[in-house]
Amino acid sequence: MTSNTRITSISVTLLVLALAAPLVAGQPFYINIGSQVLIAAIFAMSLNILVGYGGMTSIGHAAYLGTSAYVVALLTLQHGFGFYAASAVALGVVVVMAAIFGAIALRGTGITFLMITLALGQTMWGVAFRWSDVTGGDNGLPDIKRPDLFGLNLVEPGLFYAVMIALFVIALVGMWIFTQSGLGLSLQGTRDQPRRMGMLGHHVWLVRWIAFIIAGFWAGVAGIAFIGYHGYIHPLSLGLANSAEVLLMVIAGGAGTLLGPVVGAAIVVVLKMVVSAYVSRWVLLLGCTFVAIVILLPEGVVPGLERLLKALLPETRDDGEASS
Amino acid sequence: MSIGFWLLQSLNALALGGLLFLLSSGFSLIFGLMRVANLSHGAYFMLGAYVGLSVLQAGFGFIEAIFAAGIVIAVLGGLIERFLLRRLANRTLAQVLVTLGLAFAIADICLMLWSGDPMQLPAPRWLSQPIRAFGFVFPGYRVFVVEVSIVVAVLLWLLIERTKLGAMVRASVDDIQMARGVGIPAQKLFSFIFCLGAALAGMGGVLGGPILSVYPGLDGEMLPLALVVVILGGIGSIGGAFVGAYITGFVYTFGQTLLPAFSYVILFLPMIVILAFRPSGLFGKSAP
């Protein structure tokens, strides 16, 4: 067994244990934390496509989660849509939005790209905040009901968590397939060697644009889960702080790794929960954590752990170097 | 809507443009020189307004408040540059993310110190005399803001285009390695420009206080405006920041008056047009 496959099996075991933990704890409080972590994890994985695999740092990703949630809320509350029909429309809206915003943002690269995504994200916040006739402005949109699924009432925390696990596993497997696919590999190529990829005949812009749309789509999925869980949406959910929070998840966990965003999501959600129980200074802590992670742990938790595990688990054909 | 209405809105647009110039000229200089998009620039603006408010409440005059805010924010910027950004030299993305984190920290500390209530900075009486011209009455303070922004623009232009320091800055913007090679002290230049940009943002905050008032979230509203200005005008160009600021001021003001729900969306139309046809901005040099 090579150390890589052993690391994979250890990761899978840990992941299964972590997913089961809230159910073992049993209380709705822990199960709800589990649901929140999984929603955040799907959201963070979607951003990881851009930040990790594409090398495109977006600080406007909350716009996709928020827009999707707003569309579901508006259609169910004001236009008599069912939750699932509204979700389908929301995904369509988010994909179109990502296609347009992606085309604009990809006019720039690097820091310019980052600035444009930030500005576009704040546009959506501005619309949600100012267009109060439709979006409810600062009051947000409350009372979106959790739907039934196959006749089961998802208001029950355990059932909702089970659905979130299913959704999360689909997202995770989908992400794994994406990273192994031709598209995913050429995306990583455009991250590392954009010129060379261009020379090799890859359409760098197109690859990035498609990745942008896929990232927007999955953020939209997270948005549907988000509105299903909270039943409430506020302009803050589209705002800069939320975009920064999800970016922190990706970077803290490890950008460009499959499980990094998941670990990052768990850390940030639990941290936020614990801190908010004692003090109301989450934003200050978010800012300081951001600075600390970037300076002290720039590669993230998961790559750090991976290196540690590799050092602890020398390969069977030990060449003496693996253990050093 | 009478002619008076349009004239008044135009003056509002000019005043906002002036404030945006103070905010984004520093941002643009820092970006041009250090390749760092300083995402705490909006927070500097807000913190400057709060510092100015406290100075005014302590009984000092408006001019003192402007300079006090400028000095405080310049020192803060200097500390951030020296102890955080410099540690991350040549890691542009990390630097940008640090400034993002700091923006949140500063905003939350402001909320802690000055509470969440919106507060208006009182404009000094000697500046807020209404001005009568062409049979219309204009609020004097806004005229003052426009004047200040033009004076600052001229001073900055002179500094960058007509002094040795400015020549060194321009050389470093164009080719930092060559500039270092011929002995330009780039590190000192970074510190100076960062402090200068921070000071301009802080002073802009005080100057904007009587018009915009100051409240939590002001930072998040100003930052995208600064980004739009810089994308429009081109990175590292004072002239670009000036033109971009006034375009943005007009688009935003009239958008807010005519279509308040979508003022942000309208704001992005000129940016999209520029990006489509001139990605490096109106006055920007194409990327190296």
d(CA B241, CA B282): 10
CB-based contact B98 A287, cutoff 8 Å? no
d(CA B167, CA B171): 6
**Encoded tokens for A125:** 């916040």
Nearest Cα residue to A208 out of A105, A112, A111: A105
CB-based contact B104 A287, cutoff 8 Å? yes
pLDDT tens, residue by residue, A284-298 = 888 898 888 888 888
User: How many CB atoms are closer than 10 A to CB B118?
Assistant: 12
Task: State yes or no: pLDDT of B196 exceeds 50.
Answer: yes
**Is residue A40 packed enough to be buried (19+ CB in 10 Å), middle (13-18) or exposed (0-12)?**
buried
User: Any bridge partners for residue B137, and if so which?
Assistant: B132
> Which residue on chain B is closest to A119 by alpha carbon?
B224
Q: CA quadruple A260, A261, A267, A270: dihedral positive or negative?
A: negative
Q: CA B278: distance to chain centroid? A: 23
Q: CA quadruple B85, B91, B94, B97: dihedral positive or negative?
A: positive
Nearest Cα residue to A282 out of B186, B226, B97, B105: B105
Q: CA B247: distance to chain centroid? A: 14
How far are the Cα atoms of A12, A219, A283 from residue A34, in angstroms, in the given order? 17, 18, 22
A176 in reach of chain B (CB within 8 A) = no
d(CA B227, CA A53): 26
Using CA atoms in the order B59, B60, B62, B64, what is the torsion angle rounded to 10 degrees? -160
pLDDT tens, residue by residue, A186-233 = 999 999 988 899 888 888 999 999 999 999 999 999 999 999 999 899
**Encoded tokens for B247:** 């375009």
Amino acid occupying residue A98: A
Q: Where are the domains of chain A?
A: 28-239
Q: CA quadruple A102, A106, A111, A112: dihedral positive or negative?
A: negative
| pLDDT of res. A323 | 40
pLDDT band at residue A302 using 50, 70 and 90 as cut-offs: confident
Q: b vs e for B40-53, b when ≥16 Cβ sit within 10 Å of the residue's Cβ?
A: bbbbbbbbbbbbbb
Instruction: Give yes or no for a contact between B170 and B189, defined as CB atoms under 8 angstroms apart.
Output: no
User: How many CB atoms are closer than 10 A to CB B8?
Assistant: 17
Amino acid occupying residue B155: L
- Which one of B107, B264, B275 has the shortest CB-CB distance to A126? B264
Task: State yes or no: pLDDT of B12 exceeds 60.
Answer: yes
Nearest Cα residue to A138 out of A72, A217, A233: A233
Chain A residues with CB-CB distance to B102 below 8 A: 287, 291
Task: State yes or no: pLDDT of A50 exceeds 90.
Answer: yes
User: Any bridge partners for residue B84, and if so which?
Assistant: none
d(CA B269, CA A100): 13
pLDDT tens, residue by residue, A144-190 = 888 878 877 778 888 889 899 999 999 999 999 999 999 999 999 99
Amino acid occupying residue B6: W
A103 in reach of chain B (CB within 8 A) = no
A100 in reach of chain B (CB within 8 A) = no
How far are the Cα atoms of A36, A171, A218, A283 from residue A39, in angstroms, in the given order? 5, 11, 11, 20
Nearest Cα residue to A187 out of A206, A173, A174: A206
Amino acid occupying residue A282: W
pLDDT tens, residue by residue, A6-39 = 778 888 888 888 888 887 877 888 898 999 999 9
The whole-angstrom distance between B101's CA and the closest CA on chain A is 4
Q: b vs e for A171-210, b when ≥16 Cβ sit within 10 Å of the residue's Cβ?
A: bbeebeebbeeeebebbbbbbeebeebeeeebebbebbbb
Amino acid occupying residue B93: L
pLDDT tens, residue by residue, B224-276 = 899 889 888 888 788 899 999 999 999 999 988 888 878 888 887 788 788 77
pLDDT tens, residue by residue, B113-157 = 998 899 988 888 887 778 777 777 778 899 899 999 999 999 999
User: Any bridge partners for residue B136, and if so which?
Assistant: B133
- Span B158-183, average pLDDT: 89
Q: Which run of H or of E encompasses A96?
A: helix A83-105
pLDDT band at residue A324 using 50, 70 and 90 as cut-offs: very low
The whole-angstrom distance between B168's CA and the closest CA on chain A is 24
> Which residue on chain B is closest to A129 by alpha carbon?
B261
Instruction: Give yes or no for a contact between B170 and B160, defined as CB atoms under 8 angstroms apart.
Output: yes
Q: Which run of H or of E encompasses B136?
A: strand B136-138
User: Any bridge partners for residue B119, and if so which?
Assistant: B214
User: How many CB atoms are closer than 10 A to CB B187?
Assistant: 13
CB proximity under 8 Å: A 261-300 to B = 281, 283-284, 286-291, 294-295, 298
Q: What percent of chain A has pLDDT over 70?
A: 96
| pLDDT of res. A111 | 84
Say what angle helices B41-57 and B92-114 make with each other, to 10 degrees.
30
The whole-angstrom distance between B35's CA and the closest CA on chain A is 8
User: Any bridge partners for residue A148, and if so which?
Assistant: A153
> Which residue on chain A is closest to B96 by alpha carbon?
A111
Sequence-separated (6 or more) residues with CB below 8 Å from residue A239: A62, A121, A122, A125, B220
The CB-side HSE value for B285 (13 A sphere, CA atoms) comes to 9
The whole-angstrom distance between A297's CA and the closest CA on chain B is 11
The CB-side HSE value for B107 (13 A sphere, CA atoms) comes to 27
Task: State yes or no: pLDDT of A254 exceeds 70.
Answer: yes
The whole-angstrom distance between B116's CA and the closest CA on chain A is 13
Task: State yes or no: pLDDT of B288 exceeds 50.
Answer: no
Nearest Cα residue to B250 out of B284, B221, B225: B225
- Span B188-208, average pLDDT: 94
| pLDDT of res. A322 | 41
Chain B residues with CB-CB distance to A138 below 8 A: none
Task: State yes or no: pLDDT of B204 exceeds 50.
Answer: yes
| pLDDT of res. A318 | 46
Q: b vs e for B252-269, b when ≥16 Cβ sit within 10 Å of the residue's Cβ?
A: bbbbbbeeebbbbbbbbe
A244 in reach of chain B (CB within 8 A) = yes
A319 in reach of chain B (CB within 8 A) = no
Chain A residues with CB-CB distance to B260 below 8 A: 130
pLDDT tens, residue by residue, B30-83 = 988 888 889 999 999 999 999 999 999 999 999 999 999 999 999 999 999 999
Mean pLDDT of chain A: 87
Q: CA quadruple A129, B73, A276, A298: dihedral positive or negative?
A: positive
Number of H helices, E strands in chain B: 11, 2
